[in-house]
Amino acid sequence: MRLPNGYGSVYKLAGNRRRPYVVKKTIDGRQRALGYFESYQEAFEFLVHINHCTPSRQVTFAAVYAAWSQRHFPDVSLSSRQAYSISYRHLSPLHAMPFGSISYSDLQSAVDSVPAGYCTRKKCRVLLSQMYKYAIKNGIVDHDLSPFVELPKHTVVYNKKPFTARQIGKLWRSLAVPGVADALILIYTGMRVGEFIALRPGDINVRQRYIDIKQSKTAAGVRKIPIHHRILDMLTERKTSGSICPCPTYDSFRRLWDKAMGTVSMKHTPHECRHTLATLLDRAEVNETTIRMILGHARPGITKGVYTHKTLADLRKAIDRV
């Protein structure tokens, strides 16, 4: 974390310690330890306090992000952490600037320079809002400039549309293309990309034919997805190899996806796989409650996380109708 010269530093000590974070500051030419803390957040807040100055004029944007993420990330999903990290990288012109010296024009310029459209820039503004709340709470600034950041007009380029039966058939004939098998797995499971990335071999139950989703963007998303018989061999092979998703981040997955779609001459987003499965299940006359359970949508009146043997059997029967 980048802090001004003379401001002091926070270090994590080696070993298994109850209070592993130490605050150090140079006093009279010698670096002295001023306190030990259980978390980085506590240590950083103490460092701000002992400086007896307006930290907004010294602590950089990068430093505030580091402290905020240390506190916030343990409470959010993997996909949310990845989205915040991507937004932070987009705001690189602000990283070295003292947080309290950042003006509205600085924020607007940084957001305007993001090489993407409305949705990506909106996520950047959400991150800025979160960081300002943290900064105000910790006395780094006394006002929030993020609401004044303007976004481009939100225009929908095209409506999300499912893969057609002909396109799905073409995907099956194009399995040699990297990324096509991943598209089929998403189509037949309805997983979100973040859920797919988070999968581990132990989450695939081959014998009972289900995927155990343990990390999702919503509470309803934590669920068991029945494995369609057509992708069972794919997932079995990946479980044996020790790797389910070939990409560690959404960015790398999206690059793989875009290249695969270009090779097979299709224009679809990963999220349209969920629309595809919902459409296929509806056409197969699967009831709405079952569709919601498979896709991980909120289910009024359904006890969260309760899956009996009968429930799993019903889900497998439903998915095999597709």
pTM confidence score: 0.57
Rounded to whole angstroms, the maximal C-alpha distance in the chain is 77
Query: Positive or negative, the Cα torsion across 266, 268, 270, 272?
Result: negative
pLDDT digits (tens, 9 = 90+) for 11-70: 888 888 888 888 887 766 777 777 788 888 788 877 776 664 444 457 889 888 988 887
The residues, any chain, with a CB within 8 Å of residue 250's CB and separated by 6 or more, are 79, 82, 83, 86, 193, 194, 197
- pLDDT in the model for residue 300: 53
Look at the domain 53-157 and name its fold: DNA polymerase; domain 1 (1.10.150)
CA distance 33 to 35: 6
pLDDT band at 76 (very low <50, low <70, confident <90, very high): confident
Amino acid at 33: A
The domain limits of the chain are 1-52, 53-157, 165-319
Q: Which residues, listed in sequence order, are joined to residue 212 by a DSSP beta bridge?
A: 224
How many other CB atoms are found less than 10 A from the CB of residue 280? Answer: 22
Judge whether 178 and 160 are in contact, CB under 8 Å: no
SS3 labels along 28-50: CCEEEEEEEECCHHHHHHHHHHH
* Residue 303 reports pLDDT greater than 50: no
Residues 6+ apart with CB under 8 A from 217: 77, 79, 80, 192, 194
pLDDT in tens, 244-269: 999 999 889 999 999 999 999 999 99
Report pLDDT for 159: 67
- Upper half-sphere CA count for residue 116 (Cβ side, 13 Å): 15
Q: Write down the residue that tokens 């893969």 correspond to.
A: 163
Burial class (CB in 10 A: 0-12, 13-18, 19+), 185: buried
Q: In the predicted model, is pLDDT for residue 1 greater than 50?
A: no
> What CATH superfamily is the domain 165-319?
Intergrase catalytic core (1.10.443.10)
Q: Closest Cα to residue 145, out of 94, 108, 93?
A: 108
pLDDT confidence band for 301 (50 / 70 / 90): very low
pLDDT digit string, tens, across residues 166-197: 999 999 999 999 999 999 999 999 999 999 99
For residues 308-317, give the mean pLDDT: 79
Across 113-222, where does the E strand assignment appear?
204-205, 210-213
| Residue 154 clears pLDDT 90, i.e. is over it | no
The per-residue pLDDT for 310 is 58
For residues 143 and 50, what is the distance between their CA atoms, to the nearest angstrom?
A: 22
Instruction: Choose between 92 and 76: higher pLDDT.
Output: 92
Average pLDDT over residues 207-214: 95
Reduced to 3 states (helix: H, G, I; strand: E, B; else coil), residue 87 is helix
The predicted pLDDT at position 48 comes to 72
C-alpha–C-alpha distance, residues 97 and 218, integer Å: 35
Buried b (16+ CB within 10 A) or exposed e, 39-57: ebbbbbbbbbeebeeebbe
Cα dihedral 272, 278, 281, 282 sign: negative
For the segment 78-133, what is each residue's pLDDT rounded down to a tens digit?
Answer: 888 888 999 999 999 999 999 989 999 999 999 999 987 888 899 999 999 999 99
Which neighbouring-strand residues pair with 29? none
Main-chain phi, psi angles of 164, to 5 degrees: -85, 165
